[in-house]
Amino acid sequence: MVAGSTVCHYRGADHLLRAGDMVLIDPNAPHSCTPLPGQTRSYHMLYLDVVWCQGLLAQQCGHPVAALHYRPVRVQDPALFGDCLQLLKRLYRHDIDAATPQLHAMVSTLLSRYCSPQQPVTEQPTTRYMRQRLLSNLQTSPSLTTLAQELHLRRETLVQHFREDTGITPMAFLNNTRIEYAKTLIKQGVPLADAGYQSGFSDQSHFHKIFVLHTAATPGQYQQAGESPSAAITI
């Protein structure tokens, strides 16, 4: 956050973020950011490659890392914040040679201070089955009732198993996957209505609502930002 303030809803709680704060989001974790009434805010987002981060963390802890989990949500670290702003300036100037070692050093510090390595665990068969069925076709993903009938288990049991393995509910997982796919389609130039439909949202108003909850921007705003060469950076 470089100016103003916003409320980040994440892990079932609201976190007030102000200028100088950093927020750490686990990979693929549903979250949303909402500006305070009558206030504006300015922020940068870094999308870090998960496998690359896992490799850095594995080097630090000396064993394979299956997942990343940031202990805090809101971080106040002036030195790291300053490093991040300096890195962003170099990235916006496309000074990749200077940015690369700084990125490596900054992310290594961030991971060592604020991230807990999670070693590989065996996913429950029910979770694996639900994940495969939900991802098989985003436009015709089965309902929780259908999955419960197929697995001969109660809906509550399925939700419990899925949350134990992933930290989120099946619906949160599905919505997050749909939004990430919609973002990919929008970046490719697919019309917004088609992007919503292909991602599994037959109702455009529902697509608009869920997109805003996950990205703090409308699909149209996200499309316009993607047309600007310096609007977003993916690492």
For 42-56, the pLDDT digits (tens) are: 889 888 888 888 888
Q: Do 129 and 111 share a structural domain?
A: no
Domain around 163: 125-234
Question: Within this chain, do residues 40 and 19 fall inside the same structural domain, yes or no?
Answer: yes
Residues 55, 111, single domain; the answer is: yes
Which pLDDT tens digit goes with each residue over 87-108?
999 998 999 999 999 999 999 9
Pair (7, 92) in one structural domain = yes
- Is the model's pLDDT at 13 over the cut of 60? yes
pLDDT tens digits for range 185-213: 998 899 999 999 999 998 899 999 999 88
Same domain, 84 and 135: no
Same-domain pairing of 177 and 206: yes
Question: Pairing state of beta strands 46-47 and 233-234?
Answer: parallel
Mean of pLDDT values over 177-184:
89
Q: Summarize pLDDT for 53-71 with one digit per residue, the tens.
A: 888 888 887 777 778 888 8
pLDDT at 119: 54
Contacts 24+ apart (CB under 8 A), 196-201: 197/139, 198/138, 198/139, 199/138, 199/139, 200/138, 200/139, 200/141, 200/174
Q: Which of 52, 83, 118 is the last residue of a domain?
A: 118
**How many domains does the chain divide into?**
2
Check which CATH number belongs to the domain holding 145 and give it: 1.10.10.60
